[in-house]
Structure 1
Amino acid sequence: MAKARNIKNPFITVNPSPLPFFYFLPVSQLASYIFSPKKNHRSHKLCKPPNLSLFFLSLLISFTFLGISALRFIPISQDTASCSLISPSSPGSLSTASAPLLSATLSLIVSDNEDELTLSNSVIVPLPAHGVTGNLSKEERDFWEQPDGEGYKPCLAFSIGYRKASARISKEKRRFLVVVASGGLNQQRNQIVDAVVIARILEAALVVPVLQVNLIWGDESEFSDIFDVKHFKRILQADIRVVSSLPSTHLMSRQSVETKIPHDVSPQWIRSKFFKHLNEEGVLVLKGLDSKLSKNLQPDLQKLRCKVAFHALRFAAPVREIGNRLARRMWIEGPYIALHLRLEKDVWVRTGCLTGLGPEYDNIIINAREAEPEYLTGRLNISHTQRRLAGLCPLNALEVARLVKALGSPRSARIYSAGGEPLGGKKALQPLVAEFPNLVTKEMLARDGELSPYINKSSALAAIDYIVSLSSDVFIPSHGGNMGRAMQGHRAYVGHRKYIRPNKRTMLPFFEDTSISDEEFGSIVRKLHSKSQGQPEPRTNRRDRDVVAYPVPECMCKHRTGIF
Structure 2
Amino acid sequence: MSKSKKNRHSYISVPSQIITPLSSSSLQNLLLSPKKPSKNPNRIFRNPNSLFIFLLFLFAFVGMAGLGFRLHPLLPFSAIPCEISEQHSSFSAAVSAVPVAGSVGEEEMEEFWKQPDGLGFRPCLDFSQEYRRWSEAVSREKTRYLMVVVSGGLNQQRNQIVDAVVIARILGASLVVPILQVNVIWGDESEFSDIFDLEHFKRTLANDVRIVSSLPSTHLRSRPVEEKRTPLHVSPEWIRSRYLKRLNKEGVLLLRGLDSRLSKDLPSDLQKLRCKVAFNALRFSAPIMEIGNKFAERMRRKGPFIALHLRLEKDVWVRTGCLPGLSHKYDEIISNERKLRPELLTGRSNMSFHDRKLAGLCPLNAVEITRLLKALGAPRNARIYWAGGRPFGGLEALLPLTREFPYFYNKEDLSLPGELEPFAKKASLLAAIDYIVSENSDVFMPSHGGNMGRAIKGHRAYAGHKKYITPNKRQMLHYFLNSTLSEREFKRIVKELHQDSLGQPDIRTSKAGRDVIAYPVPECMCKNVKKEMRHVL
Cα distance in 2 for partners of 1:333, 1:370 equals 47
Q: What is the Cα deviation at residue 252 of structure 1?
A: 4.0
Q: Is the 8 A contact 1:83 1:333 kept in 2?
A: no
Q: Residue by residue, what CA displacement relative to the aligned partner does 1:314-336 show, whole Å, maximum 9, x if unpaired?
A: 00111111001101101121000
Q: Residue by residue, what CA displacement relative to the aligned partner does 1:164-196 show, whole Å, maximum 9, x if unpaired?
A: 101111111111111111111111111110110
Q: Residue by residue, what CA displacement relative to the aligned partner does 1:493-547 show, whole Å, maximum 9, x if unpaired?
A: 1110000100000000111111112221111101100111252221100121011
Q: What is aligned with 2:201? A: 232
Tell me, yes or no, if structure 1 residue 420 matches structure 2 residue 389. Answer: yes
Q: What is aligned with 2:280? A: 311
Q: What is aligned with 1:163? A: 132
Q: Residue by residue, what CA displacement relative to the aligned partner does 1:405-424 show, whole Å, maximum 9, x if unpaired?
A: 11001111110001111111
Q: What is the Cα deviation at residue 136 of structure 1?
A: 4.4
Tell me, yes or no, if structure 1 residue 492 matches structure 2 residue 461. Answer: yes
Q: What is aligned with 1:51? A: none
Q: What is the Cα deviation at residue 353 of structure 1?
A: 0.9
- Structure 2 SS opposite 1:531: helix
Cα distance in 1 for partners of 2:223, 2:321 equals 39
Q: Determine which of 422, 425, 445 is the counterpart of 1:456.
A: 425
Q: What is the Cα deviation at residue 88 of structure 1?
A: 9.2
Q: Determine which of 214, 221, 228 is the counterpart of 2:190.
A: 221
Cα distance in 2 for partners of 1:482, 1:266 equals 21
Matched to 2:328, the amino acid is: P
Matched to 2:449, the amino acid is: G
Q: 1:399 to 1:277 in 2, by over 3 A?
A: same
* Structure 1 segment 99-118 matched on structure 2, within 5 A: none
Q: 1:361 to 1:140 in 2, by over 3 A?
A: same
Q: What is aligned with 1:99? A: none
Gaps of 5+ in 2: 1-67, 75-103
Q: What is the Cα deviation at residue 83 of structure 1?
A: 7.8
Cα distance in 1 for partners of 2:172, 2:504 equals 37
Aligned residue pairs: how many? 438
Tell me, yes or no, if structure 1 residue 437 matches structure 2 residue 406. Answer: yes
Q: Determine which of 132, 135, 152 is the counterpart of 1:183.
A: 152
Matched to 2:239, the amino acid is: I
Q: What is aligned with 1:63? A: none
Q: What is the Cα deviation at residue 240 of structure 1?
A: 0.5
Instruction: Single out whichever of 492-501 and 517-526 deviates more from structure 2.
Output: 517-526
Q: What is aligned with 1:292? A: 261
Query: Cα RMSD over matched residues?
Result: 1.9
Cα distance in 2 for partners of 1:364, 1:174 equals 55
- Structure 2 SS opposite 1:147: coil
Q: Residue by residue, what CA displacement relative to the aligned partner does 1:252-308 show, whole Å, maximum 9, x if unpaired?
A: 486553121111210000000111111111111111111121111111101000000
- Structure 1 SS opposite 2:378: coil
Q: What is aligned with 2:218? A: 249
Tell me, yes or no, if structure 1 residue 467 matches structure 2 residue 432. Answer: no
Cα distance in 2 for partners of 1:287, 1:524 equals 46
* Structure 1 segment 77-476 matched on structure 2, within 5 A: 136-252=105-221, 255=224, 257-476=226-445
Tell me, yes or no, if structure 1 residue 541 matches structure 2 residue 510. Answer: yes
- Structure 1 SS opposite 2:403: helix
Q: Residue by residue, what CA displacement relative to the aligned partner does 1:77-107 show, whole Å, maximum 9, x if unpaired?
A: xxxxx988xx8969xxxxxxxxxxxxxxxxx
Matched to 1:243, the amino acid is: V
Cα distance in 1 for partners of 2:294, 2:529 equals 33
Cα distance in 2 for partners of 1:255, 1:411 equals 58
Matched to 2:172, the amino acid is: E
Q: Is the 8 A contact 1:337 1:474 kept in 2?
A: yes
Cα distance in 2 for partners of 1:314, 1:503 equals 31
Q: Residue by residue, what CA displacement relative to the aligned partner does 1:447-472 show, whole Å, maximum 9, x if unpaired?
A: 11111111111111111011101111
| TM-score (ref. length: structure 2) | 0.79
Matched to 2:236, the amino acid is: P
Q: Is the 8 A contact 1:151 1:559 kept in 2?
A: no
Q: What is the Cα deviation at residue 208 of structure 1?
A: 0.6
Matched to 1:345, the amino acid is: K
Q: What is the Cα deviation at residue 230 of structure 1?
A: 0.7
Q: Residue by residue, what CA displacement relative to the aligned partner does 1:27-71 show, whole Å, maximum 9, x if unpaired?
A: xxxxxxxxxxxxxxxxxxxxxxxxxxxxxxxxxxxxxxxxxxxxx
- Structure 2 SS opposite 1:321: helix
Cα distance in 1 for partners of 2:258, 2:157 equals 10
Cα distance in 2 for partners of 1:371, 1:449 equals 40
Q: What is aligned with 2:39? A: none
| TM-score (ref. length: structure 1) | 0.75
